[in-house]
Chains A and B, each alone.
Chain A
Amino acid sequence: MSALARTPLYATHRALGARMVAFGGWEMPVSYRGILEEHHSVRAAAGLFDVSHMGEIELTGPRAAAACQALTTNDVRRLDDGRVQYTLLCREDGGVVDDVTLYRHGPERFLFCVNASNRAKDLAWIEAHAGGATVVDRSAETALLALQGPRAAAILARLTALDLSTLGFFRFATGPVAGVPAVVSRTGYTGEDGFELYVASGDAVAVWDAIMAAGAGDGVAPIGLGARDTLRLEAALPLYGNDLDDATTPLAAGLARFVALDGDDFVGRDALRAERAAGSPRRLVGLELRAAGIARHGYPILADGRRAGEVTSGTHAPTLGRAIALGYVEAAHAAPGTALAVEVRGKAVPAAVVPTPFYRRPRAGTRPKGEQ
Chain B
Amino acid sequence: MEAPETLRYSEEHEWVRVEGGVAVVGITDHAQAELGDIVFVELPAVGADVTQGKPLGVVESVKAVSDVYAPVSGTVLEVNDRLGDSPEIVNGDPYGDGWMAKVTMRDASEVDRLMTAAQYRDFVAKETS
Distance between Cα atoms of A345 and B62 in the complex (Å): 17
| Contact, CB under 8 Å: A315 / B84 | no
Distance between Cα atoms of A292 and B39 in the complex (Å): 10
**B62 to A, closest residue via Cβ:** A35
Contacts of B37 in A (CB 8 A): 34-37
| Contact, CB under 8 Å: A230 / B40 | no
| Interface membership of B4, Cβ < 8 A | no
Chain B contact residue count (CB 8 A cutoff): 12
Chain A contact residue count (CB 8 A cutoff): 20
| Contact, CB under 8 Å: B36 / A292 | no
| Contact, CB under 8 Å: B62 / A315 | yes
| Contact, CB under 8 Å: A30 / B39 | no
A31 and B65 contact, Cβ closer than 8 Å, known pairs A294-B60, A316-B60, A345-B58: no
| Interface membership of B63, Cβ < 8 A | yes
Contacts of A296 in B (CB 8 A): 65
| Interface membership of A219, Cβ < 8 A | no
Q: Which residues 26-41 in A have Cβ within 8 Å of B in the complex?
A: 30-31, 34-37, 39
| Contact, CB under 8 Å: A30 / B40 | no
A316 and B36 contact, Cβ closer than 8 Å, known pairs A230-B62, A294-B60: no
- Chain B: minimal CB distance from A155 (Å): 26
A294 and B36 contact, Cβ closer than 8 Å, known pairs A35-B63, A226-B63, A316-B62: no
- Chain B: minimal CB distance from A116 (Å): 18
| Contact, CB under 8 Å: A292 / B62 | no
Contacts of B65 in A (CB 8 A): 294, 296
Show 10 A/B contacts (Cβ-Cβ < 8 Å), sorted by A.
Answer: A31-B36, A35-B37, A35-B63, A36-B37, A293-B42, A294-B60, A315-B62, A316-B60, A316-B62, A345-B58
Residue ranges of B at the interface with A (Cβ–Cβ < 8 Å): 36-37, 39-40, 42, 58, 60-63, 65, 84
